[in-house]
Structures are given as C-alpha cells and as structure tokens.
Amino acid sequence: MPKPPGVPFPQASVSTISMQSIACAKDRLFCPQSNIQVFGIEWMTLLRKDCAPFHKAAFLQTNRADLGLRYWNWALSANNLSASPLFDGSPTSFSGNGDPIDADPVIPLTPSNVSIPRGTGGGCVTNGPFANMILNLPDLDSAPNDVFPPNGFHYSPHCLTRDLNTFIARAFTGQADVDRLLASPDIATLQHNIDVSSWPAIREAGIMGPHAAAHMQLGRSMDDFWTAPQEPTFMLHHAMVDRIWALWQAQDPENRRWALNGTSTIMNAPSTPEVDLDTQLTWGWLSENKTLREIMSTKAYEYNYEYGD
C-alpha cells in the first residue's frame, strides 16, 4: 500500500504555497507508488488563485484587457524542447538546457518496469536570461519517507539546473495528451488523466500524466516535490494546467463550472471532508480567505481572464 506523505497539507495555509505545489510534483514523479490522484481540485483552485495576479499586473501596467494569462503550451514544444522559443537559450527565452553532466543514461519510472532516456543536460543553467540563477530553498526531494524536514526553509543557495528531456515531452505531453485531458467526461477523470499516463505499461503505476511529465522534462529543479516553484517556468506550467481546466469547464459550463471532487488534503492524508463551494481557502499573509466558489471560474468574482484555444 502506498505510503501517504508524512506531512499533512491543511487546506491552503499558503504562506506555504510552494510547499503545496509540490505535493503534486513529487507523487507523480519521484514518489509514484501511489495511484491516488494527487492533483486534487483544491490544488487546481489554489493555482488559479496564484496565477491570476500576474494577469492583473499585466492589465494594470498596460491597460490592455486582451493580454490573457501567459502559459506554456506543452504540446508546442513537445517535439523538440531545446528548439522551443521557451527553452532555446535566446535572450527572450526562459533560458535553455543545463550544462551536460555525467549521469546514468536511463531513468527508471518506478514503480513501473519502464525506463526512459535521461535528458541531455542536467547541470547548472549558464545561458539565457536565467543564467547562473541561484535557488535559495533547499533541494528537498531526498526528504526521507516523504516527511517534510524541519529545516525546509533552510537557506541553501544552489544553481538552477535543467535537463531538457524531449523523450518525456513527446511521450507524455504532446497534443494527444492535451486532447485526452480535454475529453475527460467529468472532473474526477480530468484529475486522474492529468496525473496518470495513457501508456498501458505505466498506467498501472499511476504516474506520468502530463502535469507530472511537464515538470520532469525540465529536470531536477522543476521536479522537486517541495521547491519546484523556484523554477522560472513553474507558473507558466501551472497556467497551462489552469488553461486546460478552464477550457474543459467551458465545454459545458452548466455542469462543469462548479464541479468539485475530493478533499482538501493531498491524497486525503490526513483524512478530511469532501470540499464544497463554501470550503474556505486560507492564504496566510498573502491574501484574505476565499471560498472555492470565488475561485472556480475565470470569469466570476474578482477574475476576468481567458485563454486562447
């Protein structure tokens, strides 16, 4: 039986938003022994709350309401990550690959029996706008038994690393994978599909859905269960998740705009009640409380943004 995380995730006490983020990344990537959906509804809503201020800022700075929310469309870069305008290392990119390092040529996707090629970098990013960027939160993936260490905020400067992995991108985040998400018939299936691949050989293991795979295809810094939000592309990635959710909702607003599923704890550990629209999200010093109702729609309450198709 999979071991649940040792750290409870009380609903969105999100002075620790990066720690919440997080919970998603690891279960799908490094601790994939679970087939329980970890990309819960609350996490989706958390990120909607977290991403929207970017749009608000863009609007305030430009007075243009047509800017939309920036996102990383995984499918557009899936065929060749390092050739993508996002990752080609140019001055307008989010920097490119990390420097090459010696490492095992394959990555085992435990607990499945599948192994895949590793990426082509792995070392520090030394090109583009984020060259030599320093990340200050520690690398926490080695946290034993999934227990968040007491020194989780320990000042631990280290370089941003990338290991661009086009194999993962092609295999798990292509247009067919995006289409599979958008074709999900209900919210529970959408949550499942975003975290579990359609590959029969690894589906049983409950891993490598597009959300996880997009984290993993960028390498260690973006993979980190606890600290992935330090990666400059993290919000672009999660804006894509938000976009998929929004496009999925828009296919059937009447039935999907307020569709919820799951509890307010990752993998329901510890066990908490099913959420409903009145469930309160708390944000610490970041924001006043919000109910789930207030952040379910991109066009209600304080939100008014949309994504292109």
Residues 6 or more apart whose CB falls under 8 angstroms from that of 262 comprise 37, 40, 41, 42, 188, 191, 268, 274, 275
Binding segment for Cu ion (CB under 5 A), chosen from 24-32, 216-224, 259-267, 272-280, is 24-32
Q: Which of 9, 262, 27, 246 is nearest to 143 (CA)?
A: 27
With contact defined as beta carbons under 8 Å apart, do 4 and 31 qualify?
no
Question: Interface mask (CB under 5 A) for Cu ion, residues 33-62, using x and -?
Answer: ------------------------------
Binding segment for Cu ion (CB under 5 A), chosen from 25-33, 63-71, 119-127, 176-184, is 25-33
- Report in angstroms how near the CB of residue 245 gets to Cu ion at its nearest: 13
Distance from C-alpha of 3 to C-alpha of 270, rounded to nearest angstrom: 12
- Report in angstroms how near the CB of residue 22 gets to Cu ion at its nearest: 8
* 21/127 with CB nearer Cu ion: 21
- Report in angstroms how near the CB of residue 86 gets to Cu ion at its nearest: 17
* 25/164 with CB nearer Cu ion: 25
Q: Indicate the residue whose CB is closest to Cu ion.
A: 24
Q: What is the DSSP letter of 124?
A: E
- Report in angstroms how near the CB of residue 238 gets to Cu ion at its nearest: 6
* 25/143 with CB nearer Cu ion: 25
Query: Can residue 17 be called a binding residue for Cu ion (CB under 5 A)?
Result: no
With contact defined as beta carbons under 8 Å apart, do 82 and 88 qualify?
yes
Q: Which of 199, 204, 228, 202 is nearest to 216 (CA)?
A: 228
- Specify the DSSP element, H or E, that contains 117: strand 115-117
- Report in angstroms how near the CB of residue 113 gets to Cu ion at its nearest: 25
Hey, what are 236's tokens? 């672009």
* 89/209 with CB nearer Cu ion: 209
With contact defined as beta carbons under 8 Å apart, do 193 and 180 qualify?
yes
With contact defined as beta carbons under 8 Å apart, do 148 and 137 qualify?
no
Q: How does 100-110 read in b/e, with b if 16+ C-beta sit within 10 Å? A: eeeeeeebebe
Q: What is the DSSP letter of 29?
A: H
Q: Looking at 14, 23, 24, 168, which residue binds Cu ion (CB under 5 A)?
A: 24
* 89/194 with CB nearer Cu ion: 194
* 180/237 with CB nearer Cu ion: 237
- Report in angstroms how near the CB of residue 68 gets to Cu ion at its nearest: 21
- Report in angstroms how near the CB of residue 61 gets to Cu ion at its nearest: 27
* 127/173 with CB nearer Cu ion: 173
223-282: contacts with Cu ion (CB under 5 A): none
CA distance to 44, 187, 222, 238, 255, per residue, from 252 (Å): 18, 12, 33, 22, 6
What does the binding site for Cu ion look like in residue numbers (CB under 5 A)?
24-25
